[in-house]
Amino acid sequence: MSEETKIAICLAQSKTQNYINQSYLEYISEAGFAPIVIPMLNKSVNLAFYVSVCDGVILPGGVDIDPTIFGRDNLCSMRTDPKRDQFELEIIDAFLAKRKKIFGICRGFQLLFRYFENSFKYLYFLQDVEGHSTNNENEVERNVPVHFVEMDTHQLYGTKNKVGNNDRFLPMFVNSMHHQGVIYSVKTEFFPEAIVAYKKYSPISMKMSGLNFVIEAIKFAPNVLGVQWHPEELKDYKLLQFFFNT
């Protein structure tokens, strides 16, 4: 690993500030990379510059994705920021065009799913999945794991594990601070190869009956990964290092 590896990360915007949780910058730096921030500005940002100098980009967590950008009614999405959605979609376009790596966290994962949504059968974006903002609702610190997900550790960490579809997932505990989510609607644990982590949930816990898998990570392309939990709070450097170093 080297500080020469530069990872861009998007800033959010208020009326007077561009900002980001410091845990993201510490996560990138402590993993052995150099963070480069991309500001949201009223005038257009020269994304070509950031793509040229950076090896990849992180789309961080934040406010809800605005469903209206994707032609759907806003039923229960809160504190949306359409300007940020559009800005980060442009970032995805720019980094994809140069085959640079893209890593989405929580909101970033959800935005990547909306970008690639037409590539997936039986996966749906749900505006409210009950019981998944566990750290917030239980007033547990952000860096404390609260539930386990089934992970394909070979795809996420490069570890050796069984390759059978039902055998490739191992339980790992993560934190959880989201209410929007991606749902797999087929009642079977035979998952497409792109799905690299999931959480099995009872349909009674959902606001939409009959759906019983919350997708926690997807390998959208060889150079595009999204995870639903917050690895920056868990200081999970191996996840970031394996993705950006392979």
Q: What are phi and psi of 219, to 5 degrees?
A: -95, 90
Euclidean distance between CA atoms 74 and 246, whole angstroms: 39
Task: Note the pLDDT tens digit of each residue in 100-125.
Answer: 999 999 999 999 999 999 999 888 88
As beta bridge partners, residue 227 has 105, 217
pLDDT for res 204: 47
3-state secondary structure the chain: CCCCCEEEEECEECCCCEECCHHHHHHHHHCCCEEEEECCCCCCCCHHHHHHHCCEEEECCCCCCCHHHHCCCCCCCCCCCHHHHHHHHHHHHHHHHCCCEEEEECHHHHHHHHHHHHHCCCEEEECCCCCCCHHHHCCCCCCCCCEEEEECHHHHHCCCCCCCCCCCCEEEEECCCCCCEEEECCCCCCCCCCEEEEEECCHHHCCCCCCCEEEEEEEEECCEEEECCCHHHHCCHHHHHHHHHC
Cβ atoms of residues 198 and 184 within 8 Å: yes
Q: Which phi and psi (to 5°) does residue 118 adopt?
A: -70, -10
Tell me which residues of the chain have a pLDDT lower than 50: 1, 203-204
Contacts of 145 (CB under 8 A, 6+ apart): 173, 174, 175, 234
Task: For residues 171 and 204, give the distance between their C-alpha atoms in angstroms, rounded to a whole number.
Answer: 22
CA dist., res. 174 & res. 54, Å (int) = 29
Nearest to residue 68, comparing CAs of 57, 80, 50, 79? 80
Q: Does the pTM of the predicted model rise above 0.75?
A: yes
Tokens found for residue 136: 């917030």
Domains in the chain and their CATH numbers?
6-245 (3.40.50.880)
Query: CA of 196: how far to CAs of 30, 35, 60, 87, in Å?
Result: 25, 26, 19, 27
